[in-house]
Amino acid sequence: MGFRIFSRDFADRCFTAFSIMSVVLMVCVLVMVLGPMMLHGLKAVFFFGTNEFREMQLAVFGHGDSERIRRENGEIEEARLFVYEAVGRFRRGIDTDHLSDDVRDIYRDYGSYLRDNGVSGERYSTLRARAKVLRDTLQDAFESRDKGTVQRNLQSVLELRDDPDFRGTVIEAYFEKAESYTHVVESVDLSKREQYAKAFDEVQEALSKLFGPRPGELLPALTIDQYGATRWDVVQRELQKLLWIEEWVETEPGQPMVKHRTARKEFFANTDLEPIFDYTEKNLYRLFRPRLTFYWRYFLDESTDGHYFGGCGPEILGTLALTFFSMLFSIPLGIISAAFLVECTSDNIVVRVIRTCINTLAGVPSIVFGLFGMAFFVLFLFPMLGEFGHETLGIFSAETAKNLTKPNILAASFTLGLLVLPVIIRASEEAIRAVPRTYKEAALALGAGQFRTFMTVILPAAAPGIFTGIILSLSRAAGETAPILFTGAIAFGPVPDSILEPTRALSYGSYDIAVGDRLAMLVPHKQYGMVMTLVALVLTLNIIAIWIRSRSSRKLRGI
C-alpha cells in the first residue's frame, strides 16, 4: 500500500516536472525566435541618425527644424570640402575628355571674341592660327601617356603666358589649365590611367553612398540616390567599401578563390586622392554628426519607393482593415454554422461529411485560398456583380463597377475570412457543445423559445470558448501573405479611400523586401521592423480579445 502511494506520488511529481519543463522549453524557443527578430526590428525605431537622415526627413516628410538642419549642413559641407576638392583635382588627371572639350570651347569663344572686337583679315587669321597651335598642344598633352612629352607640351604652352596678344582674352584659360595639369602630372602615373579610372569610379560610388550628391549637382530621380548614409551603421558599412578594395583571388590552382583586401590608399599612393581615406576615417563624426534617434514616426510615415526610407503607417492601416473585415465576415458566419451543426442537426452521415470537410479546409495551404480568392472573387464574382449592378440595376456607379474588376480590400478580406472560417467553426462548435445541457433545459422550461435560448443563454455561456477560436483566427488573418498576394495587397500605393481599392499590408511589405535580394541587404532594419510591428500588432489584438473573453467569463460567473 505504501509503495503504491509512493509510486503514484512519484508519477505526479514527474508529470508536474515534465509539464513545467515543456512550458519553459516553449518559452525559450519563443525567446530564441522572437528575441533576435525584435532586437533587429527595434533598430528601425532606435538608431544613430546622421545629418543625411535629418535632411531626408525634412525634405520628404516635412519633419524637423529647417533652420537648425540648414546650419548643421553648412558646417558639414565645410568639413567635406577637403574631400570634394581632392576628388576634383584627381579627376582632372585621369578624365581628360572634359579638358579637351573645354579647350575646344575656349578656341571657339576666342574666335567670337576677335570678331566682336573688330579684328579681321590677316591679323584675325594669324591670331586664330596661334590659338589653334595652343589648342592642339594642350590636347596632345592631355591625351599622352608619356610624362616627358606631357611636360614639354605644357611648358611650351606656359611660355606664351605673357604674350600681349593673349593677355586679357579667354586664351588665358589655356595657361590656367596647363598650370593645373602640370601639378596633376607630378602626382599621377599617367601609364596607369585606365586602372586609376576603374578604381576611381568605385571611390566615387562609395563617396556617393556616404555623402549623397555633391552640392550643386543635379539630384537623381530616385529618392534612394538623393541622400547619403542616413544611419550610422550604414556609414560604417559604406566606409569599409571606401577604404578597402576587395577581390577574389586564386591562391593555388584548383583551390577555391579567397577574398583578398587591399587598402585603397596604397593603390592611390602619392596622388591627390591618397589623403581623403585617412581624413574620412578620422573625421567621420564631423562629416555625419550622428545622433541617437527615436524615430516614433516610423509607425505613421509612408515608405518611399523600395522601402528604403520612411515607415510603415499605411501597412499598419492596411493590416488592420484586412483583419477587421475578414473577422466581420467570418465570425458571424462561423458562429451561425457552428450553431446549426450543434443545435439544428443530428449526428448523421451528412453532418459527419460536413465536419470532415471543415477539418480538411483547416489544413489546406494558404496559397490555395489565395488562388481560389483570385479566381472566384477577383476574376468571377466581383466583375459579374459590378457589371450586373451597374448596367441592369443601376446600384453601382461606373467607377465602383470598375474597381470591382481588380484586386481590392473586400476580395482579400473575404479570402482571409474563408481561410480562418474552419477554425472559428470548430472552436465555436466545441464551445457551444461544452455548455451544460441543463442551461438549455432550464431556459426551455421557463418558456423561452429555441432562438431566444440560444442567444441569451447558450451563446453567452459559450463566449469564452468562441473567443479562443477568434484569437487564433486573428493571429492568422493578420500574418498571412499568400491569400492577399493575388487578391488585394500591393507593395506601394496611396492609402485606399474605400474597401474596393487594394492596400499595403505588413506581411506583404516584409515579403516584398525579402524577395528583393539587393534591397533586403540594404535595409534589413526595415524588414525586421515590419515583422516586429506585425508581431506587436497581433499581440495587441490578442490581448484585447483575451481581455474581452476574460470579462465575459467573469460576467458569466457573476464576478
Q: In the predicted model, what is the mean pLDDT of residues 103-129?
A: 81
Q: Find all residues with CB under 8 Å of 469, minimum gap 6, and list them.
A: 334, 423, 424, 426, 427, 428, 431
Q: What is the pLDDT of residues 342-365, one digit of tens each?
A: 887 777 888 888 888 988 888 889
Report the percentage of the chain scoring pLDDT > 70: 93
What digits encode the pLDDT tens for the residues 506-550? 999 888 888 865 666 777 888 889 989 998 998 888 888 888 888
For residue 320, what pLDDT is reported? 93
Cell numbers at residue 479, please?
Answer: 500574418
pLDDT in tens, 196-225: 778 888 888 999 999 998 887 888 888 888
Q: Which residues face 259 on adjacent strands?
A: 248
247, 262 Cβ separation under 8 angstroms: yes
pTM for this structure? 0.81
Q: Which helix (H) or strand (E) holds 245?
A: strand 244-249
Distance CA 71, CA 54 (A): 12
Burial 443-456 (b: 16+ CB within 10 A, else e): beeeebeeeebbee
The CA R_g of the chain, rounded to the nearest whole Å, is: 37
Question: Do 312 and 506 meet the contact criterion of CB atoms below 8 Å apart?
Answer: yes
Residue 346, sorted as left (phi over 0), alpha (psi -120 to 50) or beta, turns out to be beta
- Mean pLDDT, all residues of the chain: 84
| Alpha carbons 541 and 139: distance in angstroms, whole number | 73
Task: Give the span between the Cα atoms of 242 and 205, in whole angstroms.
Answer: 9
pLDDT at 492: 84
Per residue in 259-299, pLDDT tens? Answer: 777 888 888 887 888 899 999 999 999 999 999 999 999 99
d(Cα 394, Cα 247) in Å, to the nearest integer?
68
CA distance 432 to 462: 5
Residue indicated by cell numbers 567621420: 284
In 244-312, alpha helices (H): 264-267, 274-282, 284-288
| pLDDT on residue 325 | 94
| Whole-number Å distance between alpha carbons of 365 and 419 | 9
Which candidate, 519, 523, 527, places its Cα nearest to that of 234?
A: 523
Count helices and strands in the chain by DSSP H and E runs: 25, 4
Q: How many CB atoms lie within 10 A of CB 286?
A: 13
Which tens digit of pLDDT belongs to each residue from 22-67?
888 988 888 888 888 888 889 889 999 999 999 999 998 988 889 9
Report the pLDDT value the prediction gives residue 1, as an integer from 0 to 100: 54
Residue 319 has which C-alpha cell?
Answer: 493590416
pLDDT band at 394 (very low <50, low <70, confident <90, very high): low
- 114 has a pLDDT exceeding 70: yes
DSSP string covering 179-194, please? HHHHHHHHHS-GGGHH
- What whole-number distance in Å separates Cα of residue 522 and Cα of residue 510? 13
3-class DSSP state of 20: helix
User: What does the pLDDT read at residue 136?
Assistant: 85
- Please, are residues 300 and 495 in contact by the beta-carbon 8 Å criterion? no
Q: 291-294 and 258-263 as β-strands: parallel, antiparallel, unpaired?
A: unpaired
Q: Which residue has the cell 440595376?
A: 393
Q: In terms of DSSP bridges, do strands 46-49 and 291-294 run parallel, antiparallel, or are they unpaired?
A: antiparallel
Judge whether residue 6 has pLDDT over 70.
Answer: no
Residue for grid cell 539630384: 219
Cell of 70: 540648414
Per-residue pLDDT at 553 exceeds 80: no
Q: Who has greater pLDDT, 277 or 472?
A: 277
Helix spans in 274-377 (H): 274-282, 284-288, 313-343, 349-362, 366-373
Sign of CA dihedral 140, 143, 145, 147: positive
pLDDT tens across 317-337, in order? 999 999 999 999 999 999 999
By the 8 A CB rule, do 41 and 528 touch?
A: yes
The alpha carbon of residue 533 and the mean position of all alpha carbons in its chain are separated, in whole angstroms, by: 14
Indicate the range of 86-90, 175-179, 181-185 predicted with least confidence: 181-185
Helix ranges (H only) for 117-221 are 121-143, 147-158, 172-187, 193-211
| pLDDT on residue 5 | 63
Q: How far is CA 273 from the centre of its chain?
A: 34
